[in-house]
């Protein structure tokens, strides 16, 4: 098991157990990659970045938890259309869903991180967390497109198995 999995789970396992978060497995992010896979990959990458730099625990928690929910838009974007293009619309929908469901209580930085994660198609991030998420999102999406799910499949399975084993989901 990758050495960061345990710390990552300690940071986000309550969020990962949420049925609406699990429901992201049914939405396709890009070919063959679910929004759930992508969100776990991005937030794991963010967590690893923070942990390697020994960032303060509270800040690492806040950045990692917001990153897990950065694409919490809960619709099938190629078929479901909205008043704006998905690229502009989905960060606002993610924040709306987080606030409506109360999965986590967003602080100002976390809200801004999610709203601006599509920079340069959104406003510039205004915090370190925002820049880390924006960079990790692009890095992970690029690897998903180039390599497919093998870029993160082994670690994803380890994480998913831990949540399943706890017996509270699925
Ligand atoms: Fe996004
Ligand atoms: Fe994303």
Ligand 2 center to 125 CA (angstroms): 15
In our burial notation (b when 16+ CB lie closer than 10 A, e otherwise), range 133-145 reads: bbbbbeebbebbe
Provide the residues around ligand 1 (an ion) whose CB is within 5 A.
71
Ligand 1 center to 137 CA (angstroms): 7
Is 144 within 8 Å of 41 (Cβ atoms)?
Answer: yes
Ligand 1 center to 29 CA (angstroms): 9
Q: Is the residue at 105 inside a domain? A: yes
10-residue stretch averages of pLDDT, the chain, 170 residues long:
95 96 93 94 98 98 98 92 93 98 97 98 96 98 96 96 62
Q: Is the residue at 157 inside a domain? A: yes
Number of compact structural domains in the chain: 1
- Quote the crossing angle between the two packed helices 35-52 and 5-16, to the nearest 10°: 140
User: By residue range, what is the domain housing residue 124?
Assistant: 5-165
Tell me what pLDDT residue 170 has. 38
Ligand 1 center to 71 CA (angstroms): 5
Ligand number, closest to the Cα atom of 94: 1
Ligand 2 center to 140 CA (angstroms): 8
Q: Is the residue at 170 inside a domain? A: no
Ligand 1 center to 91 CA (angstroms): 6
Q: Is the residue at 119 inside a domain? A: yes
Ligand number, closest to the Cα atom of 87: 1
Predicted model pTM: 0.95
Ligand number, closest to the Cα atom of 91: 1
Q: Is the residue at 86 inside a domain? A: yes
Tell me what pLDDT residue 165 has. 57
Q: Is the residue at 47 inside a domain? A: yes
Tell me what pLDDT residue 79 has. 87
Tell me what pLDDT residue 40 has. 98
Q: Residue 34's domain is classified under what CATH number?
A: 1.10.3210.10
Q: Is the residue at 70 inside a domain? A: yes
Ligand 1 center to 23 CA (angstroms): 16
């Amino acid at each position: 098991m990758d050495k960061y999995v345990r710390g990552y789970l300690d940071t986000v396992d309550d969020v990962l157990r949420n049925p609406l978060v699990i429901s992201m497995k049914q939405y396709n992010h890009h070919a063959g990659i679910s929004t759930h896979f992508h969100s776990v990959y991005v937030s794991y990458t963010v967590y690893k970045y923070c942990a390697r730099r020994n960032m303060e625990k509270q800040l690492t928690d806040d950045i990692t938890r917001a990153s897990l929910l950065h694409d919490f838009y809960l619709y099938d974007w190629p078929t479901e259309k909205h008043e704006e293009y998905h690229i502009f619309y989905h960060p606002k929908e993610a924040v709306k869903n987080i606030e409506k469901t109360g999965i986590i209580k967003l602080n100002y930085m976390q809200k801004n991180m999610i709203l601006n994660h599509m920079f340069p198609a959104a406003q510039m991030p205004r915090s370190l967390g925002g820049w880390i998420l924006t960079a990790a999102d692009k890095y992970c999406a690029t690897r998903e497109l180039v390599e497919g799910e093998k870029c993160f499949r082994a670690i994803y399975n380890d994480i998913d198995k831990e949540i399943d084993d706890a017996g509270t989901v699925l």
